[in-house]
């Protein structure tokens, strides 16, 4: 490991720590033209004179959102090497934040996995180790197919929503109304669905299989039973109840007002023994599972309340 380490390959991409930027002679000798600083510290701008410089202010903590900066960082690196220059990506120690950004670039550039990207970086700089939060973000970025626009990706939006839920839970509060993500308002046409759940009393459709939240049952235990509830994403017909900012409560069928389920933002234990957070459920004894042949839960013509802003789907279709 040197003062600055070149990532193996044909591109002039280097990784290092804050101390590296003070060695102008070494930077110039390596052909560095661009410097990407990934840290939240005061920087002496005189050190960057003569270089194209970009700063991404993030801390090296698990709950920091570095994922939202991946596209801009990748563009900066791509512009540097595309113009025939070299780029130094640095953080404080050249270990976590800088390694995460370079991993993201390699994932998009070569279509490799996070493990493969990190292994390539460690050939030059063995100490590189993204923190646990950044590592999960790299895995998510790979799962998303490394898009140029992260923030409009449904997977990213759902991840942000889960972060909000976790933050609210940690504070012992229900999420703010405007931050609740009603999944049927973000449905993608063509999503396969196997069945729908209907109120046993009035036959009103309440959900389709695409909105089920899977959870892993624990090993068989004679004292535990099979799942007694369907765990769901928030759906539009639940809006009036979920936006009351209560930590828990009951869910009524919007048509016949029969109690069909319950919710608990702090989570609840399924009868199978698994703890699910947050828990938004329909009781299996209050609904029927009915097979359907449609391709998407949004194409069944189900009468559902519109979202808060009054928008409706094309063709007169409404939300779950």
> Are 52 and 35 a contacting pair, CB within 8 Å?
yes
Residue 148 CB coordination number (10 Å):
9
**Among residues 130, 152, 174, which one ends one of the domains?**
152
Are 239 and 145 contained in the same domain? no
pLDDT on residue 154: 86
Q: For position 98, which CATH number holds?
A: 3.90.190.10
Are 140 and 13 contained in the same domain? yes
- Which residue of the set 91, 103, 199, 253 is catalytic? 91
Are 269 and 191 contained in the same domain? yes
For residue 320, being part of any structural domain is answered with no
For residue 310, being part of any structural domain is answered with no
pLDDT on residue 111: 97
pLDDT on residue 192: 78
For residue 316, being part of any structural domain is answered with no
Are 231 and 136 contained in the same domain? no
pLDDT on residue 166: 86
pLDDT on residue 39: 97
pLDDT on residue 191: 72
Are 17 and 127 contained in the same domain? yes
> Residue length, the chain?
320
Task: Take residue 187 and report the two structure tokens written for it.
Answer: 């449905």
Are 9 and 137 contained in the same domain? yes
For residue 128, being part of any structural domain is answered with yes
Are 112 and 194 contained in the same domain? no
Of 29, 9, 26, nearest in space to 123 by CA: 9
Are 70 and 115 contained in the same domain? yes
For residue 161, being part of any structural domain is answered with no
Domain containing 47 equals: 5-152
**Among residues 152, 167, 194, which one ends one of the domains?**
152
How far apart, in whole angstroms, are the C-alpha atoms of residue 55 and residue 33? 15
Residue 121 CB coordination number (10 Å):
22
For residue 175, being part of any structural domain is answered with no
pLDDT on residue 73: 98
pLDDT on residue 122: 98
Q: How many domains does the chain have?
A: 2
Q: What is the pTM of this model?
A: 0.74
**Among residues 129, 152, 175, which one ends one of the domains?**
152
How far apart, in whole angstroms, are the C-alpha atoms of residue 15 and residue 123? 12
pLDDT on residue 311: 39
For residue 236, being part of any structural domain is answered with yes
pLDDT on residue 301: 38
Q: Among this protein's residues, is 253 annotated catalytic? A: no
Q: For position 234, which CATH number holds?
A: 2.170.150
Helix (H, G, I), strand (E, B) or coil at 266: coil
Are 11 and 143 contained in the same domain? yes
How far apart, in whole angstroms, are the C-alpha atoms of residue 40 and residue 87? 19
For residue 317, being part of any structural domain is answered with no
Are 139 and 235 contained in the same domain? no
> Are 265 and 247 a contacting pair, CB within 8 Å?
yes
Are 188 and 108 contained in the same domain? no
Segments in the chain below pLDDT 50 = 222-224, 295-319
Are 237 and 131 contained in the same domain? no
- Residues 46-98: pLDDT tens digits? 999 999 999 999 999 999 999 999 999 999 999 999 999 999 999 999 999 99
């Amino acid at each position: 490991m040197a003062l600055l380490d070149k990532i193996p390959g044909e591109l002039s991409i280097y990784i290092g720590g804050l101390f590296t930027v003070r060695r102008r002679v070494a930077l110039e000798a390596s052909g560095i033209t661009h410097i990407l600083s990934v840290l939240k510290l005061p920087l002496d701008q005189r050190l960057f004179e003569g270089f194209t410089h970009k700063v991404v202010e993030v801390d090296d903590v698990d709950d920091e959102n570095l994922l939202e900066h991946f596209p801009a960082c990748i563009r900066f690196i791509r512009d540097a090497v595309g113009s025939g220059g070299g780029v130094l990506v640095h953080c404080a120690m050249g270990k976590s934040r800088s390694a995460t950004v370079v991993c993201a670039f390699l994932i998009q550039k070569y279509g490799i996995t996070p493990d493969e990207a990190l292994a390539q970086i460690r050939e030059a700089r063995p100490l590189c180790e993204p923190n646990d939060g950044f590592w999960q973000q790299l895995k998510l970025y790979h799962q998303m197919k490394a898009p140029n626009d992260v923030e409009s990706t449904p997977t990213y939006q759902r991840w942000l929503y889960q972060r909000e839920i976790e933050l609210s839970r940690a504070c012992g509060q229900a999420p703010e109304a405007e931050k609740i993500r009603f999944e049927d308002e973000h449905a993608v046409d063509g999503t396969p669905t196997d069945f729908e759940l209907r109120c046993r009393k009035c036959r009103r459709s309440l959900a389709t299989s695409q909105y089920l939240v899977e959870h892993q049952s624990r090993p068989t235990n004679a004292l535990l039973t099979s799942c007694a509830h369907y765990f769901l994403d928030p759906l539009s017909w639940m809006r009036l109840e979920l936006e009351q900012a209560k930590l828990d409560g009951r869910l009524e069928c919007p048509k016949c007002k029969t109690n069909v389920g319950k919710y608990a933002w702090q989570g609840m234990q399924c009868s199978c023994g698994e703890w699910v957070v947050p828990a938004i459920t329909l009781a299996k004894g209050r609904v029927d599972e009915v097979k359907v042949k449609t391709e998407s839960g949004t194409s069944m013509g189900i009468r559902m309340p519109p979202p808060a802003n009054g928008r409706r789907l094309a063709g007169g279709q409404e939300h779950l």
